[in-house]
Amino acid sequence: MLAVGLDLLFMSINFSALTLFAALNKYISSELGVSENIAWWAAAAYSMGIFAAFFVGHSRFTEEYPRLTVLVAGLLAAILQFLIPCAFHPGEVVVLRFIQGLVMMAVPIFSAQVGRLFAGARPFALGTILSGIFIGGLVGSSAGWLVAEAVGWRTAYLLFGSLMIIVALLWIAFTPRETLPEHHRVEEVSEKKLSVWRDKFTILWGFTFFPSIWIIFTLAPLINFIVSSAGWGEGTAHLASEVLEASYMAWSIIVGGVAYVVARRSRQTPRGLFNSFARVQAVCFIVAAIGAGIAVIANSPSMLLGSLVLIAVIQGTAPTFWSTPSTAYPRELVTRAGYALGLISNSAALIGPAASIMVSSLSPQGMWVLTIILSAIGAAITVAGMRLRLPVEKYGER
């Protein structure tokens, strides 16, 4: 469990620091001259950087040096955390935020790592690790603001940046070598004619997480606007944001645990485990759609907040999805499959924010209707993916 704890710490500290840009926006805007338009572009650039992280992950370096990949991801985000307070032009902030998104290069490494350590418990371990994104969001929003009020926002940035460096070094120093993904040189995989991109399972399954990414990473920044526009008031809007983030964190762990329990009752084969995880994933999409339906007809703040708790179960698809590389692919393809699946699913970050903003600006109810549609699509693709032959069945476990 040491490896899982270090992965969780890495995610929590990094995302608490990366949340500071939104949490301390009023300070940054006034002192660096970041307009509302530039702030929007910075947020979009960060999402695009996350997409780029999975594209970069296809390099020879990440294939052969997973330990150094995590170190680079952590240090790169940390160094830029020091540079943002020193930016001379608002446009520089956009570029720096884009590069910070590359911290997500670590996630497929964590996925492969968990796959090597666990079998049916993969979703629970991954759910715990990925909850760090939202733990970080809550810590960054609250603690970051308190530190900024006490010693200034630039000092807050520097303190959190220092923590990022410390955690990256701790991860390198204490993560057991035997828990890391196996090294498979690119030439070895090519010689065996193993392919990720030519397998239709990769393409289809990658898109099962597309709706989740769209909803998770666009609803959180838009929730204040949506709730306020619907006339619920600023107090309810602020509470809705906190409920959503806390629910994301809780469901990540809860659904991971449920998937583990379901998997224990199935055949402990790649197909048996995959089907167990996929069923839980499909149920998450259905529950999220129900929650969005309740949000459409909500006539009280408590009803709206309750619907957000249900919608947030969409985050439960993250641990099931990220359990796929080590479950459905041969060992040689696990890391490569993680980056491929991440690249496909995170393409939602390129269109999701802009599309959701346009829909929500037309009507506050628009985001809830869009959530129902996306969740239904996610459930349908998940069921379709269960009918495909797994790569590990095609190539065999090597």
Residue 191 has a pLDDT of 45
Q: Residues 6-17: what's their mean pLDDT?
A: 96
Lowest mean pLDDT among 44-48, 111-115, 229-233, 296-300: 229-233
Angle between helices 66-83 and 2-18 (to 10 degrees): 20
Q: Residues 189-202: what's their mean pLDDT?
A: 74
- Chain centroid to Cα 376, Å, comes to 20
Residue 146, class by beta-carbon neighbours within 10 Å (0-12 exposed, 13-18 middle, 19+ buried)? exposed
Residue 193 has a pLDDT of 57
Lowest mean pLDDT among 74-78, 226-230, 311-315: 226-230
| CB neighbour list of residue 397: distance below 8 Å, 6 or more residues apart | 270, 330, 331
Query: From CA 211, how far away is CA 382, in angstroms rounded?
Result: 11
Q: Residues 320-326: what's their mean pLDDT?
A: 96
Query: From CA 291, how far away is CA 311, in angstroms rounded?
Result: 5
Higher pLDDT, 192 or 144: 144
The average confidence (pLDDT) of the chain is: 89
Cβ atoms 248, 11 nearer than 8 A: no
Query: From CA 206, how far away is CA 69, in angstroms rounded?
Result: 22
Query: From CA 372, how far away is CA 359, in angstroms rounded?
Result: 13
- Considering the chain, what percentage of its residues have pLDDT values greater than 90? 60
| CB neighbour list of residue 218: distance below 8 Å, 6 or more residues apart | 352, 353, 356, 357
Provide the terminal-to-terminal Cα distance of the chain, rounded to the nearest Å: 26
pLDDT of 207 over the 60 cut: yes
Q: Residues 311-325: what's their mean pLDDT?
A: 97
Q: Residues 160-185: what's their mean pLDDT?
A: 88
Nearest to 204 by CA among 101, 341, 306, 336: 341
pLDDT of 317 over the 80 cut: yes
pLDDT of 36 over the 80 cut: no
Nearest to 181 by CA among 293, 267, 106: 106
Query: From CA 31, how far away is CA 24, in angstroms rounded?
Result: 11
Residue 397 has a pLDDT of 59
Q: To which residue do tokens 């645990």 refer?
A: 257
Task: For 218-251, give the DSSP string.
Answer: HHHHHHHHHHHHTT--HHHHHHHHHHHHHHHHHH
What does each C-alpha distance from 285 to 118, 207, 311, 383, 384 come to in angstroms?
A: 25, 13, 9, 11, 14
Query: From CA 230, how far away is CA 337, in angstroms rounded?
Result: 42
The per-residue pLDDT for range 332-387, each reduced to its tens digit, is 889 999 999 999 999 998 887 777 777 767 777 888 999 999 999 999 999 999 99
**Helix (H) or strand (E) segment spanning residue 37:** helix 36-56
Query: From CA 195, how far away is CA 188, in angstroms rounded?
Result: 12
Count CB-CB contacts under 10 A for residue 81: 25
Q: To which residue do tokens 């829909």 refer?
A: 359
Residue 192 has a pLDDT of 53
Query: From CA 76, how far away is CA 85, in angstroms rounded?
Result: 16
Query: From CA 209, how far away is CA 126, in angstroms rounded?
Result: 15
Domains along the chain? 1-176 (1.20.1250.20), 193-398 (1.20.1250.20)
Q: pLDDT category, 57, cuts 50, 70, 90?
A: confident
Residue 354 has a pLDDT of 72
The per-residue pLDDT for range 232-291, each reduced to its tens digit, is 887 888 899 889 999 999 999 999 999 999 999 888 899 999 999 999 999 999 999 999
- Considering the chain, what percentage of its residues have pLDDT values greater than 70? 96
pLDDT of 206 over the 60 cut: yes
Q: Which two tokens stand for residue 319?
A: 């641990």
Cβ atoms 168, 81 nearer than 8 A: no
What does each C-alpha distance from 377 to 18, 197, 207, 208, 214 come to in angstroms?
A: 30, 22, 9, 8, 12
Residue 183 has a pLDDT of 63
Query: pTM for the whole thing?
Result: 0.91
Cβ atoms 153, 85 nearer than 8 A: yes
Residue 184 has a pLDDT of 58
